[in-house]
Amino acid sequence: MLSLVLPPLYAILDPAQTKDRAPESVLRNLLEGGAAILQLRVKTMAPSDFFQLAQRARAETRTHGCKLIVNDRVDIALACHADGVHLGQEDLPLAVGRKLMAAKLVGISTHNLEQAQEAERNGADYIGFGPMFGTTTKDTGYAARGVDMLREIRAAVKLPIVAIGGINEQNVQQVWQAGAESAAIISDILDAADIAAKVRRIRSLG
């Protein structure tokens, strides 16, 4: 496993959330704002289109010194030479993803203490934890976890934590103060009129 220091903001590019803006344009905006780690999250594209977008994202993120994480798909992460993959609880088992990714980063979504501890035992480099607050981006099937549960997770595991779910510019400091090294923010950033400026404002809060 790699030793990972997460930046305060964990940016996510989801083409399904970019509305009338081209994903490539939004990607450039995120990087112009100073995103240092970016997850490419694609749920609806054909694998060939996902791979092509991942290749473009890899080229852009490398130019800006930004780590690229591919959501769900180990094959695409490896094919585009991403820095890592992020798995969900229903994706490939973490131990399998860890073996396939070798020394690259492997993160996994968790929603409770048991999942977080299992992630640490099975070789994750970091965990996503949430949903922190109410979210319209993804139906996780879990109620909002809140900062008290985040503090419980922080006390129980040593892994870096990315908090996710309903986080925005107004409440992001709550999750940092509760122990998350990083905050994943989707809608509040992708819906902004000036994405780069929004990213810079959130980064300045950390």
Instruction: Report d(CA 47, CA 130) in Å as an integer.
Output: 27
The yes-or-no answer on residue 41 being catalytic is yes
Q: What is the pLDDT of residue 135?
A: 63
> 87 in a domain, yes or no?
yes
Whether 30 maps to a domain, the answer reads yes
Contact 175, 6 (CB under 8 A): no
Catalytic pick among 104, 109, 145, 182: 109
Catalytic residue among 41, 67, 145, 198: 41
Q: Tokens at residue 180, please? A: 């998350």
Whether 187 is a known active-site residue: answer: no
* Domain of residue 166, CATH code: 3.20.20.70
The answer to whether residue 188 is domain-embedded is yes
Q: Is 3 domain-assigned?
A: no
Domain range holding 196? 9-205
In a domain, 198, yes or no: yes
* Contact (CB, 8 A) for 136 and 170: no
How open is the CA angle 57-10-155, to the nearest 5 degrees? 145
Residue 101 lies in a domain: yes
Of 28, 56, 138, 151, catalytic: 138
Q: What is the mean pLDDT of each run of 10 residues along the chain (206 residues)?
A: 81 95 97 98 95 98 98 98 97 96 97 97 97 71 88 97 97 98 97 98 96
Q: Which residues of 89-109 are buried (b: 16+ CB within 10 A; e: fewer)?
A: eebbebeebbeebeebbbbbb
158 assigned to active site: no
d(CA 206, CA 35): 13
Number of domains the chain is built from: 1
Asked whether the bond before 15 is cis by omega within 30 degrees of 0, the reply is no
Q: How far apart are CA 154 and CA 47, in angstroms?
A: 36
Give domain status of residue 95, yes or no.
Answer: yes
DSSP letter (8 states) at residue 141: S
Check: CB of residue 10 under 8 Å from CB of residue 39. Answer: yes
